[in-house]
Structure 1
Amino acid sequence: MGLLGILLGLGFLIWMSFRGWSVLVLTPLAALIVAITSGEPMLAHWTQTFMGAAGGFVAQFFPLFLIGAVFGKLMDDSGSVTEITRFMTEKLGIQRAILAVVLAGALVTYGGVSLFVAFFVIVPMAQGLFRAANIPYRLMPAAIGLGTFTFTMSAMPGTPAVQNAIPMPFFGTTPFAAPGLGIIASIVMFSFGMWWLLRAAAAARRAGEGYGREDQIEQVNTAVAELADNALTRERASTSDSFDPHEIHTGCHSTQAPSTFMAVLPLLVVIAVNFIMSMVILPRVDTSFLANAQWGGISLSSVSGVWSVIVALLSAITVLIIGNRKRLLNLRETVAAGANASSLPILSVASLVGFGAVVAAMPVFSLVTEWVLSIQGGPLVSLAVSTNILAALTGSASGGMTIALDALGASYLQLATEISMDPALLHRVAVIGAGTLDSLPHNGAVVTLLTLCGSTHSESYLDIVMSCIIGAVIALVVVIVLGTMFGSF
């Protein structure tokens, strides 16, 4: 009965969230279903297990959600994201329209700009380029997805994405875990995705298929305006990224764009400071005080990764504000909008984590644990399977990965220690694994992107699958094979 209760609770959560109900309401109800059917104390699991895990996630990762959303909003209101997309369009031109869209998305997201901020700027850019190049509009979502939520989210070393930060406290790693494997995975994802998109564009050209709908400009502009206030979109998007789309049009947007150098500089600061903090400064700082009870009796490895990203984003925000003080017309309003944009996502993902904690606390979950850990292929294959499944079911890479690591992270770390495996390898496999099947049709980022592009699942989802899922699965297999043969590098 306990296993049936877990399936009932999970089915209730997935079905109702797909229908637009708030995750904040659904997760505690789903947790109660699990507890009741397992004969466990219902209210105790709600207030102690559920809230304890959700609160722990907020305490651990809210700084990243908060600062990341503020940074994204500052980049948007200063005109920096728009200038970067303009520069990419000008330099690569319509003859390389697909490449321009992919690289523009990759540059801004690897530099720390939130996914939905990138969407709302890059979609109009892609629409103009694809229309001028007469490339089918149905390929736009896949091109934007390839650049924004594949390799820059899960594989590129040092990416400040929240998904890359989640494994760090579990495995004592840094944002640059397994950099060589991460670069190889990025190349695989990018190359496979570009091959598919260019192949699809060439096939469409031979078939005489052009851009498509003549009313696409009006559709895109209308979608951009409506999505910001669409309650269903907000609910689905809230578990996909650290930025609430509702805040995209609040704040005060600059009427003047910065120079290209000034637009790119904050992104470079994020990457550089993140690397220096992770590899140079923190390893040399005396942090023995963290072992005291006052600081939780922890080690530097459990917080160093999060600290590195925090300092990197704060440094970039400082540079951005100083360099754009005349363009940020109402700094207080922009910062407030960014801060507000982080609240719904952090609470939504934390609620998923709370639900996962209740599931893991059920007596029958030990059977699930035994099954997962017994999967043939070793801990890397087992970890990849567990993160994939949970990310797919929740439609959230961050939520699915946290649930998996909360329940099984210590077991994976123990197995890795027993076979002398570098935890950095676990880190990279977990992040790439969570960033594959999370892009199923119900994923909030996928739904939002299709709507913004004026497309549908039937028109564009196959190309999203090939560019954003199959490529990531191939990269995950490559990393597991190389990691098994040569270890972490």
Structure 2
Amino acid sequence: MAVAIAALSLILLMIAAYRGMSVIVMAPLLAMLAVFLTDPAAVPAAFSGLFMERVASFLKLYFPVFLLGALFGKLVEISGFSRAIVTAVIGVIGAGRAIPAIMAVTALLTYGGVSVFVAVFAVYPFAAEMFRRADIPKRLAPATIGLGALTFTMDALPGTPQIQNIIPASFFGTTTWAAPVLGLIGSVFIAATGLAYLGWRRRAMLAAGEGYGAPETLVNEPEAVEEEASVHPLIALLPLVVVGVGNLLLTLAIPRWVAGEEVSLSLSGMAEPVTVKVAQVSALWAVEGALLLGIGTILLFAFRTVAKRFADGSRAAVGGALLAGMNTAVEYGFGAVIAALPGFLVVKDALRSIPNPLVNEAITVTSLAGITGSASGGLSIALAAMAEQFVAAGDAAGIPRDVLHRVASMASGGMDSLPHNGAVITLLAVTGLTHRQAYKDIFALTLIKTVTVFIVITVYYVTGLV
């Protein structure tokens, strides 16, 4: 019965997300439903002392990353830098190679720090135009954009500033550059296999006589794309380079600048000093500093352009950051409640029966990401409940924590992209397509991504590479 209560709450959350209901509303309600069915008297304490406590702790750590990332992405958009990057890549690769071109552009934006949601909006008009010119079926566009934004640049490439690569650092005391060799191997496999699959699908559709699509069947078609960009592509690329390089340099520099394992703050007006553990926040500080440098670079080269739209743009960025941060935070709180239930303890004990620590971690993280429909949410739930177990098992087996970080991060982006995933729903809405039309190819990428995690685990055990 205890397991059924936990499962019921998770299934209902999955259904609610699939039906388009707000996770911010449904997660606390369903968490408290599970507590009520277990012990009705515990609901008030569970809500205030557990659920809200975890929501607040998550936002305390990660909201600056959400905010700075959203602001950086919005400035890249309103400055015209994203348009310049897309136009330049199309010019180099050519319209005939639309699929790899769009994947490359999207990957460049997301690896540079632009959120996946901003990248979707920025790239779609150019993807539609390129696909139309090459007569490639439009229903391949979501999977093409997803390959660049929702797979290897989200959690596999070392140093990526996306939240799925940041969350494990706080639990394992690692950095966003954890296990760089394994991350690169996984990234190459995902990109190559994904492009091969999409190329095969394009050829199969061409053989069947399917083109871009009849005008009367197309929805949300963008206006014609301008041929000329107002910003030089090298200048447009500079903020992305600054974020990437800045993240790397700050990751290396912060531990040297900060002496000791803790930093204490004591001011005359404080009742007691505040202590911060450097290992838990150094990766966050590095990403936040890098994003600030990227924002400064945009303002340096496009201040006049940005100033005209900064008020509206910054409001949109703050709204997006609040929504994205709260969605993930309430899932983190939801996970904490589920992890405290007797039923989850039964599941946790069952997962311990998986003898291999990395396989255990991968299955746990990707399963919870699939259930919640969120890579960051599933990752947060899994690590909040079982990070200590993963660390203990990994230490006993001599597995570096960098490997635990990379496997957890990549596993979060495995089965997360099921139909109820928020990014998938947004991607389909922006492109004007339905699940029936385009989800098949997105799901193929989901399978490729999930398999890649276990390939990376195998490579580690066979070669010892990190």
- Provide closer, same or farther for how the CA distance between residues 286 and 119 of structure 1 changes in structure 2, counting only shifts above 3 A: closer
Secondary structure of 1:204's counterpart equals: helix
The match for 2:245 is 272
Secondary structure of the corresponding residue to residue 190 of structure 2? helix
Structure 2 letter corresponding to 1:116: F
Equivalence for 1:391: 369
* Residue of structure 2 equivalent to 1:305: 283
Q: Give 1:419's match in structure 2, choosing from 381, 384, 397.
A: 397
Once the 2 structures are TM-superposed, how far is the Cα of residue 288 of structure 1 from its aligned partner? 2.5
1:326 pairs with 2:327: no
- Asked if 1:257 corresponds to 2:230, the answer is yes
Counterpart in 2 of 1:239? Answer: none
CA displacement 1:32-89 (0-9 Å, x = unmatched): 1111111261110011010011111111101100100000111111011111111111
Distance 1:136 1:7 in 2: 39
Of 392, 406, 411 in structure 2, the residue corresponding to residue 428 of structure 1 is: 406
Q: Report the Cα distance in structure 2 between the residues aligned to 1:95 and 1:22, rounded to whole angstroms.
A: 40
* C-alpha separation in 2, matches of 1:190 and 1:38: 45
Q: What SS class does the counterpart of residue 114 from structure 2 fall into?
A: coil
Residue 284 (structure 1) aligned with residue 273 (structure 2) = no
Q: Go from structure 1 to structure 2 and tell me whether the alpha carbon gap of 1:29 and 1:218 turns closer, same or farther (over 3 Å shift).
A: closer
Aligned to 1:242: none
What is the TM-score when the length of structure 1 is the normalising length?
0.89
Residue of structure 2 in register with 1:35 after alignment: 35
Conservation of the 8 A alpha-carbon contact between 1:83 and 1:258: yes
User: For residue 372 of structure 1, what is the amino acid of its counterpart?
Assistant: L
Kept after mapping to 2: 8 A contact 1:422/1:488: no
Contact 1:78–1:257, Cα closer than 8 Å, also in 2: no
Instruction: Determine if the alignment matches structure 1 residue 362 to structure 2 residue 335.
Output: no
- 1:75-120 Cα offsets, whole Å, 9 max, x none, are 1110111111111112111211111111011011100111111111
Amino acid at match of 2:375: A
Alignment partners' CA distance in 1, 2:465 and 2:37? 43
Secondary structure of the structure 2 residue equivalent to 1:166: helix
Distance 1:440 1:388 in 2: 11
2:45 paired with 1:68: no
| Letter in structure 2 aligned against 1:275 | L
CA distance in 1 between partners of 2:236 and 2:246 (Å): 17
Which range is displaced more, 72-81 or 209-218?
Answer: 209-218
- Gaps (5+ residues) in structure 2? 267-272
TM-score by length of 2: 0.93
Shift of 1:289: 7.2
What is residue 317 of structure 2 aligned with on the other side? 338
Aligned-partner residue type, residue 431 of structure 2 = C
Please give the residue correspondences for 1:113-192 in structure 2 after superposition, counting only pairs within 5 Å. 113-192=114-193
Aligned partner of 2:13 in structure 1 is 13
**Within the alignment, does 1:50 sit opposite 2:51 as a pair?**
yes
Distance 1:194 1:120, change over 3 A: same
Work out the CA distance in 2 between the residues paired with 1:440 and 1:330. 36
Tell me what 1:233 maps to: none
Answer whether contact 1:421 1:487 (CA < 8 A) is retained.
no
For residues 327 and 190 of structure 2, what CA distance do their matches in structure 1 show?
28
Distance 1:216 1:76, change over 3 A: farther
Cα 1:293–1:315 change in 2 (3 A) is closer
* Residue aligning to 2:429: 451
Q: Distance in 2 between matches of 1:300 and 1:187?
A: 32
Q: What letter is aligned with 2:352? A: L
Unaligned runs of 5+ in 1: 223-254
Write the deviation string for residues 133-160 of structure 1: whole angstroms up to 9, x where unpaired. 1111111111111011100001011000
RMSD between aligned alpha carbons? Answer: 1.9
Distance 1:38 1:305 in 2: 38
- The code of the aligned residue for 1:309 comes to V
Q: Identify the match of residue 477 of structure 1 among 454, 458, 462.
A: 454
**Structure 1 Cα separation of the partners of residues 314 and 305 of structure 2:** 14
Identity over aligned pairs, percent: 38
Is the partner of 1:135 in helix, strand or coil?
Answer: coil
CA, structure 1 residues 116+215, in 2 after alignment: closer, same or farther (shift >3 Å)? farther
**Which amino acid in the other structure matches residue 8 of structure 2?**
L
Q: CA deviation at 1:215?
A: 4.1
Compute the displacement of 1:216 (Å). Answer: 6.4
Measure, in 2, the Cα distance between the counterparts of 1:318 and 1:340. 21
User: May I ask how many residue pairs the two structures share in their alignment?
Assistant: 454
